[in-house]
Amino acid sequence: MAPRALAATLDTLPPSQADAAAPGPARLRDLYRMLANVRQLDTSAVAWQRQGLIPGYAPMLGQEAAQVGAGFAVDTTRDFVFPTYREMGVAYTLGLNMVEYMSTHKAIWHGGLYDPVASHFAPFQAVVGGSVLHAVGWAHGQTLNGASPDGLGVGLAFLGDGASSQGDVHEAMNFAAILKAPVVFFVQNNGWAISVPTEQQVAGGSVAARAAGYGMPALRIDGNDVLAVLDATQRAVAHARAGLGPVVVEAMTYRRGPHSTSDDPGRYRTLDDEKIDGGEDPLRRFRSVLVEQGVADAAFFDKTDADAQTRADEIRDGVVALESRPGSEMFNFVFQESTPTLGAQERQWREESEHV
């Protein structure tokens, strides 16, 4: 598979005044700490699945810069994130309780045990493209409620290049453009829709190119450059927050591992393909930037790596300690008010499972 171009498309979004300044040394170090923590937890989670501690996991190796950079641009006091099943790095960056987040991977609870309302991080789901519609609905609600003096709350809808081929995503982008909903469609183009390469399932050359058909601006960026991702996401969010409508951000990255822990990427690509197409490792790349700018040294990196391992071990202990939830909870969060059908299902379940 040939390397993919990284040229910007419809690059009409100016930097916001609030975010125009380049990150200072402390923020640069914070970005690297987060990258290191996300990388360590991701590789640890794969090991946990191999050890039988969790039944399944969707790795994000190689996509750390795309997720951390985007997460750093979120204002959790007013914005809302709508993830897929692979946004562990965004969740970590936003400060979610990672034991509660990982509860779904242990099959303890669907969508995570964390509080979506408090965290502004919606329950993640396995329906490809499904959360994108939710993001547009939430974002349109912000326009109906009216903007605050500081602007609108913005919905960030995460999706992959494979999901961009789903009808739900077309509907979401179409309605978002018509309604001028404050939503950013953040596409992590990691090169593969499970086993199908992007060029075999995305017509038009890129996902960003499709934005023109909806009258939306788009940014196609290097998703392995955490600073480029942060800048692009800040600009996109500022555009949407000002009431100017939705934006597409396509972060070109690469999924270095399997689609999930049940996938064997060796069936559709070789290790040489991964080395050629994967590009430079996002962490190694940013580490070089910090060294060149003189804002971090070997002692900083050693401590960061050690702290990341300690934190991953703490999360592992928390995941191991998770116990099964009461089965009756499956009926509690379906509707705001129960229905006769749901009540009948609950009664039947109790008779068969709890013998009451």
pLDDT one-digit tens code per residue, 271-283: 888 888 888 899 9
Whether 190 and 224 have beta carbons less than 8 Å apart is answered as: no
CATH for 157? 3.40.50.970
Look at residue 17 and tell me whether its pLDDT is greater than 60. Answer: no
45-54 CB contacts, 8 Å cutoff, 24+ apart:
45/88, 45/102, 45/105, 46/257, 46/261, 48/316, 48/319, 49/105, 49/261, 50/261, 53/106, 53/316, 53/319, 53/320, 54/102, 54/105, 54/106, 54/107, 54/319
Distances (CA, A) of 210 to 7, 131, 202, 213, 254: 15, 19, 10, 6, 20
Confidence at 8, pLDDT banded by 50, 70, 90 = very low
- What range does the domain containing 314 cover? 25-325
Look at residue 109 and tell me whether its pLDDT is greater than 50. Answer: yes
* Same domain for 253 and 127: yes
Distance, in Å, from the CA atom of 76 to the CA atom of 115, rounded to the nearest integer, reads 13
Residue with tokens 């953040």, as numbered in its chain: 186
Average confidence score pLDDT of the chain: 91
As for how many domains the chain has, the answer is: 2
Note the pLDDT tens digit of each residue in 58-94: 999 999 999 999 999 999 999 999 999 999 999 999 9
215 or 6, greater pLDDT:
215
**Rounded mean pLDDT, 241-267:** 94
* Same domain for 117 and 228: yes
* Same domain for 335 and 301: no
Query: What are the tokens at 325?
Result: 């939830």
- Report yes or no on 17 lying in a domain: no
Look at residue 5 and tell me whether its pLDDT is greater than 90. Answer: no
